[in-house]
Amino acid sequence: MSYGLTEEQKMFRDMVHRLAAEKVAPRAAAIDATHEFPWDIVELFAENGLMGVGMPEELGGGGADLLTFCLSVEEVARVCATSSLIIAAQHLGAMPILIAGSPEQKKRFIPPIASGAKLSAFALTEPEAGSDAGGTKTRAVRDGDRYRINGTKVFITNGGLAKTVVVFASTNPNAGVRGISAFIVDGDQHGVSVGRIENKMGIRGSQTAMLNFDDVLVDADRLLGSEGDGFKIAMRTLDRTRPGIAAQALGIAQGALDVSYHHVQTRRQFGQAIGQFEAVQFMLADMETQIEASRQLLYKAAEVVETAGFETVSSSEVTRYSAMAKLMCSDTAMRVTTDAVQLLGGYGYIQDYPVERMMRDAKITQIYEGTNQVQRLVIYRNMETESN
């Protein structure tokens, strides 16, 4: 289907599809098995302009719109969720700078991220501040023309690998979320250390780590926006990046359906291909329908969010569509991959077949960048606001 894509978007989608099939798919099982971050895939993506595909051209990026960015994540996720997260996480780390950075900050920090020369990271979550960002304990205290940062962040994608990290810290603990500020921190500077590296259920090749900040000094010109703008910057960032996670989930689901459909055409039981049994056909029909509905919502969400641009303050429509797309696509991914394992039977449960990996990878899409319970809360509150 065309989905209203331009010819350029179709060509781009097909290019990424071929690249993923030829270069990424053969590496997927090994990446999962070894738990090693795939630097070769980073290099591959950098060579093909995918690391900064959705970042402005004048800053070294590809200048693509949000839908085109989502297409890149979706096509890679069909064969390897870990590899798709390389693209998504790079944009997540860059987004606060693109949204709230000064022209000087953008020119200084975005080009190395867009080219893939430096990985980026988004450091918001803490041991006591997951869905509740108001529980942020990391402190940033003004010290002359610098800030002194102390605290701990957890579950940070690219933690310990990223050279540019946007860190959210409280500059006014008495103000709750209104006291949170955002800072650009060098990942290898003095006082930044890596704590626990998580051993995860899925996306095993992506490094997820604890980051410790011990008297980390950053110049005042590393502050994004003004003091107290951090929570607003974080929420606007997630509004723009959640469609990328929705695209990752959608790609995982599509990949699982592709494997399942091929399997039921070739696997024979009771003298015929199992795809000839009505019960199997109904499962596949439901999977296809859920994926198609999710894709339509995601592409619409990408259009809505793109129209809003890189503004610091989100509209209710942007927030709602971003949350709905992430919610629906990730729930679809979990249902579809679970059914895929069922359709493959015993083969689905062993690591020789990719649906086992896809099922494990799908689960995180319901959790990170805002749990699906939080997405439902966001959507409902948005409904309340519009009804008043």
List the one residue out of 388, 250, 375, 386 whose CA is nearest residue 321. Answer: 375
User: CA–CA separation, 214 vs 314, rounded Å?
Assistant: 33
Give strand pairing partners of 120: 164
Is 369 annotated as catalytic? Answer: yes
185 and 218 Cβ atoms separated by less than 8 Å: yes
List the one residue out of 63, 121, 72 whose CA is nearest residue 92. Answer: 121
Give strand pairing partners of 213: 151, 192
Chain position carrying tokens 């929570």 = 231
Q: Which pair of tokens denotes residue 189? A: 């500077």
99 and 310 Cβ atoms separated by less than 8 Å: yes
Neighbours of 147 (CB within 10 A): 24
List the one residue out of 344, 157, 132, 342 whose CA is nearest residue 241. Answer: 157
169 and 180 Cβ atoms separated by less than 8 Å: yes
| Annotated active-site residue in 74, 75, 356, 369 | 369
- Tell me if residue 209 falls in helix, strand or coil: strand
For 194, residues 6+ apart whose C-beta sits below 8 A from its C-beta are: 159, 160, 209, 210, 211, 212
Neighbours of 18 (CB within 10 A): 11
246 and 326 Cβ atoms separated by less than 8 Å: yes
Neighbours of 212 (CB within 10 A): 16
**Residues involved in catalysis:** 369
